[in-house]
């Protein structure tokens, strides 16, 4: 089984091949889960695999929302400053 990064795609993708047949293409974490499911006859652990991945995803989503709100505030402040400078 061959595992490697395909840097020709944007963003780069993690590829798993067996006998020159592509079995998986996607993120590294999903690739690790795919390999675990192969080892366990298609099963993954809800507690050890799924929950940590969804927790991390929700944390990233929340951080992105907070950053977006801060950027909007900064944009509004800059617009006000520009209006004052134009007067």
pLDDT (tens place) for every residue of the chain, 87 residues total: 999 999 999 899 999 999 999 999 999 988 988 999 988 888 888 888 889 888 999 999 999 999 999 999 999 999 999 999 997
Q: Could you tell me if 5 and 12 are in contact, meaning their C-beta atoms sit under 8 angstroms apart? A: yes
pTM above 0.75, yes or no: no
Given this model, what pLDDT does residue 50 score?
A: 85
Given this model, what pLDDT does residue 13 score?
A: 95
CA atoms within 13 A on the CB side of 29: 9
Given this model, what pLDDT does residue 48 score?
A: 86
Given this model, what pLDDT does residue 53 score?
A: 85
* Per-domain residue ranges of the chain: 1-44, 45-87
Task: Supply φ then ψ for residue 12, to 5 degrees.
Answer: -60, 145
């Amino acid at each position: 089984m061959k595992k490697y990064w395909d840097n020709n795609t944007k963003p780069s993708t993690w590829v798993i091949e067996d006998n020159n047949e592509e079995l998986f293409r996607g993120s590294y974490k999903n690739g690790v889960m795919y390999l675990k499911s192969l080892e366990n006859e298609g099963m993954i652990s809800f507690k050890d695999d799924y929950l940590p991945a969804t927790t991390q995803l929700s944390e990233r989503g929340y951080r992105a929302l907070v950053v977006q709100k801060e950027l909007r505030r900064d944009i509004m402040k800059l617009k006000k400053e520009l209006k004052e400078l134009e007067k």
